[in-house]
């Protein structure tokens, strides 16, 4: 690696890693997909539109200097816009 932790190379989807016919010796780099990248100053409706247009459910958020500041999921956006959502993966309290 380059040692540069601020370089975004893409995202790795679990469904690609768990493919039954995947050779276990396959390098990770061959499975990396391009990431949807959004500026952290983008409005929620614009971020949602960008995710819908990309047909992805996850985006990497970058700051004004190009550094990765976090990830944003379609579920995160929906919860911010319409309120808390629960699904089978959420722990009941």
Task: Dump pLDDT digits (tens) for 15-55.
Answer: 888 888 888 888 888 889 999 999 999 998 899 899 989 98
Let me know if residue 11 belongs to a domain: no
Let me know if residue 19 belongs to a domain: no
Let me know if residue 67 belongs to a domain: yes
CATH code for the domain of 45? 3.10.580.10
Let me know if residue 88 belongs to a domain: no
Q: What is the span of the domain harbouring residue 75?
A: 33-82
Over the range 23-60, which residues count as b (16 or more CB within 10 Å of their CB) and which as e? eeeeeeeeeeeebbebeeeeeeeebbebbeeeebebbb
Domain count, the chain: 1
pLDDT over 70, % of the chain: 83
CB 32 within 8 A of CB 12: yes
Give pTM, 2 decimals.
Answer: 0.69
């Amino acid at each position: 690696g380059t040692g540069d932790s601020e370089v975004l190379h893409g995202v790795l989807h679990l469904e690609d890693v768990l493919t039954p016919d995947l050779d276990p010796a396959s390098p990770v780099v061959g499975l990396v997909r391009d990431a949807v990248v959004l500026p952290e100053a983008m409005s929620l409706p614009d971020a949602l539109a960008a995710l819908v247009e990309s047909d992805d459910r996850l985006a990497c958020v970058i700051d004004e200097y190009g550094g990765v500041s976090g990830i944003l999921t379609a579920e995160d956006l929906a919860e911010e816009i319409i309120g808390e959502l629960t699904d089978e993966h959420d722990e009941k309290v």
